[in-house]
Structure 1
């Protein structure tokens, strides 16, 4: 057992050595020993390749504005570990993390001696979140983000009120499959019997898989650009504005503070979820509460403008789809300015395609390495780039300092790549900008 928060976090992070172990056996064992907290939750389950965290945030903000105490479970964290388990957007306390770990530790030790083997870091944190939202601090509703895939993800022991699949892209292909169809099969695993599904999946072959699974589960499907649509989208200085339409319902001039067309899609999923929570589960949400919730929603590290003078953008574009969204937004908003990029990534991504897209918008790219066991080298990234003005830097902290201090009036700085890299950058970048 542990007496301090730091000891508890050290133990949790030590479980990373077990890696990823798909399957629900260990979670089912833990839930039984904890009295099945997952069965006590009113939850929305959110899967997909990109946009999960933003969709969670939009929906949480709407529900919070409507007066519902809302728990969220998300990953990875950007600023502090505790934010993975939050209430109304506020991370739980260090004392509560310590309490949860001391509940989990003896069970995890016992589980290791069973045929199922040791629980992973993610399984432990998932169990902590379910137990917290059900037993320690019961919430009106919990929004649970899938960790990886869906079918065999630790969170998939839930029986949610609604399921959401944001989109499907070719990420984690070594685990989930190499085609959109194969990945869709894994994502569709979160569809539950008689539970409505909301989705922004766009590929026809992936949609077919989703529809087949939903039909077997007798689940209604609400698909973006089919059952509900986005109209009149425009980008504004403070974010995006659009109209949302479903059947005879039209909500005009919705404003969000997150940047990018893709964020209007994530917001539209949250609107559809809010509507179904009213229609199917008797929640009460006014249009004004919905508007205010969408406008105030904030998710760190997603096209986050941490400075406007000079313009400095932080974006956890960690796969091809994320880089595509980022470069589209840069090309639209900053085509008249010189774009400087600092980039680092994990080695198990589609790096050649990602870097090709960055090359298409950048005036200068500096490739760096950061401290993570799966991080690829700056030299490897450099060799994949065809940009003439490209550089390698071993010390990303020094590079960040130099680039920030040398920015001229017509230049912007974009720091992007792995969310694990963004996590390390964010705190330092904030300190630097305050002292600039």
Structure 2
């Protein structure tokens, strides 16, 4: 392969092999590649929601402090290459081609020898390891778990510190149907004699994580017990928070909502704990980095006058966070929504709070194999007598909801991150 286009086509061709949790394929391939992950200083981040925002907070702080920071995140919003980045700059085509060709040779050997096939996410993880260890100099790699934790392809690393941002009901067909089961899968990233920082709030999930940390003799730091955070002031465009951990700090962040306040606290706690491991950071870097952190597609104010917000809420916790953020930052505004989801989502439970608040909602769809139709999403609310519509053409749905917006109203476009990526591209071009 000689071009980035060829590489991405080959990688996406692996999607047909699905999601198959397990570390056997990764360990086989890493043996052949001489374990590039062992050359890296890693922060390993799991969680149902909040992984990307927490990584963004940490990345911006460490960059302000002068570190070279690698990030491995998913999914992408604008282009595939952003999943593997150095200091926020996506992997260059030359590096992507080199790393992929190196991985591809061993993937082909693996298929021939075992008859098995690595998954798309496993291959992307291997590409990231090679890029960070061979092609660039990284002081620190912020490595986001893909799915779960225990059997995720990233869980071959020995990190400086493990992080669990939150626990919620998502991917239950893989991770389990109770919070305890899901927490056990996420807590599988805790390493022997390691360190874990947790932002998890549910008591049943906290008990599981704490028990697993004790079993592994890992140091355990929990939001609400070892460090705390509170919002001291807010506006539609930022919030000031008071953090108390190893230090006391008043910090302004532009990411909105109580969930982002908690993600910020988890990030600061990780930064404080890593100071003892040879990663000093000054106060100015912390304050400037936290203020400048952003995360596209997550309650992102993409336009003002009128206000249009993009939010990748796609599970119970995401929609609950959206509801809380609207109440915290946009109380009194008239809200219009355009929503698209994938078929496996329970639209009734996710959207009922918004329908009950008499928001103006249009359900739509988008070109994606698992996308639900607009009628499927609309059907549970068809007889409620509210301003709820179905529109197959998502561009038309957005344009119709824009009509009549004023200074006291806003449009929220939310649902699947794949949908948000499509809408964001169109709005930016427009």
1:403 maps to 401
CA RMSD of aligned residues (A): 1.4
**TM-score, normalised on structure 1?**
0.95
Gaps of 5+ in 2: none
After TM superposition, the structure 1 stretch with the greater mean CA deviation from structure 2, 231-240 or 421-430, is 231-240
Contact 1:346 1:376 in 2 (8 A): yes
| 8 Å contact from structure 1 (residues 302, 315) kept in 2 | yes
User: In 1, are the aligned partners of 2:21 and 2:153 still within 8 Å (CA)?
Assistant: yes
Query: Deviations along 1:129-181, whole A, 9 cap, x unmatched?
Result: 01110111131110000000000000000100000000100111111001000
- 1:347 aligns with 343
Match of 2:262 among 265, 269, 272: 265
TM-score, with length taken from structure 2: 0.97
1:417 aligns with 2:415: yes
Query: What does 1:315-330 correspond to in 2, within 5 Å?
Result: 315-330=311-326
Give the equivalent residue in structure 2 for 1:375.
371
Whether 2:31 is the aligned partner of 1:32: answer yes
- SS of alignment partner, residue 114 of structure 2: coil
Partner of 1:431: 429
Partner of 1:255: 252
Report the more deviating stretch, 102-111 or 397-406: 397-406
Q: 1:174-217 CA distances to partner (integer Å, 9 max, x unpaired)?
A: 11001000000100000011111000111111111101110111
Q: What is the deviation of 1:16?
A: 0.7
Q: Distance in 1 between matches of 2:163 and 2:205?
A: 15
Deviation at 1:431, TM superposition (A): 2.2
User: Which residue number in structure 1 is paired with residue 21 of structure 2?
Assistant: 22
1:17-416 paired onto structure 2 within 5 Å: 17-115=16-114, 117-246=116-245, 249-251=247-249, 253-279=250-276, 281-385=277-381, 386=384, 388-416=386-414
Q: Pick closer, same or farther for the CA change 1:232–1:344 going to 2, 3 Å.
A: closer
Unaligned 5+ residue runs, structure 1? Answer: none
How far apart are residue 116 of structure 1 and its match? 6.5
- Report the CA distance between 1:237 and its aligned residue: 3.8
CA contact (8 A) 2:43 2:159 kept: yes
Residues of 2 paired with 1:414 and 1:326: CA distance?
Answer: 10
Q: Deviations over 1:322-356 (max 9, x none)?
A: 00111111123333222110001112223221111
CA distance in structure 1 between the aligned counterparts of 2:358 and 2:62, rounded to whole angstroms: 39
1:357, distance to aligned residue in structure 2 (A): 2.4
